[in-house]
Every structure is written in structure tokens, then in C-alpha cells.
Structure 1
């Protein structure tokens, strides 16, 4: 979710609002879990693939798929994660 927020901020997707805020969308999110994050890892990485940006007059909806990697092993896979930007 935070990676989507960083993308939205970097792309200035809330520019149409005077005081934008992030909210969640009530939708199904698919999680797959494949292991644990131990303190002995060399590298942790997050990647997000944006699948849709829908701009509406009252809000912007951002959707994507994400993964959390430990070294070169995907630990979490998240599909259909969504975020909304709207007026506060």
C-alpha cells in the first residue's frame, strides 16, 4: 500500500485536489504468502506493477500488483491492491 502511495505522490496524482488524502477501496485483495522475513537476509525488495489509474472528478483510483522479495525469493505476492485519492 505504501509503495502505491509513493508512486501516486511521485506522479502528482492528487494534483486536482486542494487537500488530497489516501483512502482504501473496499475490494478483494489476493495475498500469497511463501515464507518468513528473517533478520539474516542480505536484500529485501518491494516491487509494484501499476495495472490501472482511473481519474474521476471526485477521486483517483490506483490499482496494482505487488511483491515482497527476500534475497531472490518472493515471500509475498499481492494482487489487485487498490488505493483511492480524494479530497480530505
Structure 2
């Protein structure tokens, strides 16, 4: 079962919907939630103060987007269909 309580609630609701409707898509969605959450549940990254400060600084003051990045974002928008 996923470690986050909301994930467990969602999973139970999807399984109940699968039982009540006979639609196994709901059950597959519940399995997918569990599969995605399981590898993350035991992960923990410990940062040194200097690393934490560098990450915080980068998030607070991100660098300007380069021309290459802007072009990549534009290509992505033209080639990828988002759901």
C-alpha cells in the first residue's frame, strides 16, 4: 500500500469502483498507483548544508533559459501530444 494516506484512499476507491462496476480499468489504475509509489516509499536523500543551499539558490534564482532550451521547448510543443 502506498505510504501517503491520500494514495491509499484513492487506491481503495478505485478498487471498490472496479468491484461495483466490473470495469477492470479501475483496478489497473489502482495497481499503477501502487507500482509508481512503491519505489519512492523507501527513498530518502540526505543533503549536506552546502548542497541544500546550492539547490535552494538555484530554485530561488534560476538561470535564464538559453536559446537551445527555448528551441527544445518549442520542438516539444510541436511534437508531443499531452493528455
Per the normalisation by structure 1, the TM-score is 0.23
The structure richer in helix per residue is 2
Per the normalisation by structure 2, the TM-score is 0.23
Structure with more contact order per residue of length (Cα contacts < 8 Å, sep ≥ 6): 1
The structure richer in strand per residue is 1
